[in-house]
Structure 1
Amino acid sequence: MGLLLVAFAGWRTLESAEPAPQLLTGQLWQTLSSDAKVAFVWGIGNLVEFERIQAGSPQAGTKSFIPFLVNGLKGKSIDEVVGLVDRYYRNHPDQMHRPVVDAIFQTAVLPKLTVVPEGGMTK
């Protein structure tokens, strides 16, 4: 019975601990095979498409990055996005600690944003 209580207490501790985010960074990206890079970008694309379908049209005032990703990735092949990320880290070695999702934003999303006169950004 005592062992069961110790095990349960340990489980409760693990359950309540806030996990650290596990974001793929440029450091790990550089070690991945081409197939693994394609799989990662494919997964991002699937997540974006799933969210887009589930959410439908975003309501005014909604703060989601999904519409920006949809617009930024539109018309790009998976291999093209992998190439953009590879070039980003090659051209910005000081950014290797940054998440790959950020590199996708820097190379695919931000270049397609336009500034509106009120100072905001639009897709």
Structure 2
Amino acid sequence: MRRPRVIWISVVGLLLIAFAGSRILESAEPAHQLLTGQLWQTMSPDAKVAFVWGIGSLVEYERAQVGASSMGTKSFIPFLVKGLKGKSIDEVVRLIDTYYQAHPDQIQRPVLDVIFQAVVLPTLTVETEGGMAK
């Protein structure tokens, strides 16, 4: 008589542990979110500089690894390389801040997209072949 009860309690216990474990794993999955203007506006100046510095480091790493040969790919890095060339980190931060101040309706727009809109695209021109160049 005790054996079926022990088995039943063990099964219920294992089900509870499995359910709790699945909830923990579910909550631990990273949410894929991009940094938007909403958080950007609350960040300290040092955090903003660190973010732009990270983007710049990524661009420099890609440029050093691939070089100009990546121009034929679908990578956005060559455009970042050209658009960020000669700009200081403080200037990029200022341009991002200015963009969000001028476009408060676009507060949910990702900061990386704003870097393209406010920093990169204004420095690029269309070539006769249809590609973008500085």
TM bin (shorter chain): 0.7 to 0.9
Q: Shift of the alpha carbon at 1:113?
A: 1.3
Q: What's the offset of the Cα at 1:122? A: 2.9
CA shift for structure 1 position 60: 5.7
**Percent of residue pairs identical:** 68
User: Where does structure 2 lack aligned partners over 5 or more consecutive residues?
Assistant: 1-9
Secondary structure of residue in 1 paired with 2:109: coil
Instruction: Compute the TM-score of the two structures, normalised by the length of structure 1.
Output: 0.81
Note the alpha carbon deviations across 1:19-44, whole angstroms, 9 max, x for none.
Answer: 54210000110000101100100011
Which sections of structure 1, spanning at least 5 residues, go unmatched? none
* Alignment partner of 1:75 is 2:92: no
- Higher-Rg structure is 2
1:41 counterpart (46, 52, 72): 52
- Kindly state the Cα deviation for residue 112 of structure 1 after the two structures are TM-superposed: 1.4
The aligned residue for residue 6 of structure 1 is 18
**Residue in structure 1 matched with residue 116 of structure 2 by the alignment:** 105
Work out whether residues 70 and 78 of structure 2, in 8 Å CA contact, stay in contact via their aligned partners in 1.
no
Partner secondary structure for residue 56 of structure 1:
helix
AA at the equivalent of 1:21: H
Q: Name 1:27's counterpart in structure 2.
A: 38
> Residues 42-90 of structure 1, C-alpha deviation per residue, up to 9 Å, x if partnerless?
0111111112212233246311110110111111111000000000000
Which residue in 2 is equivalent to 1:121?
132
| The structure with more helix, counted as a fraction of residues | 2
> Helix, strand or coil for the counterpart of 1:98?
coil
Q: CA deviation at 1:108?
A: 1.3
Structure 1 vs Structure 2 CA RMSD = 2.6
Relative to structure 1, the CA distance from residue 51 to residue 63 in structure 2 (aligned partners, 3 Å threshold; closer, same or farther) is same
Match of 2:107 in 1: 96
Displacement of 1:118: 4.4
Instruction: Check 1:99–1:91 CA distance in 2 against 1; reply closer, same or farther (3 A cut).
Output: same
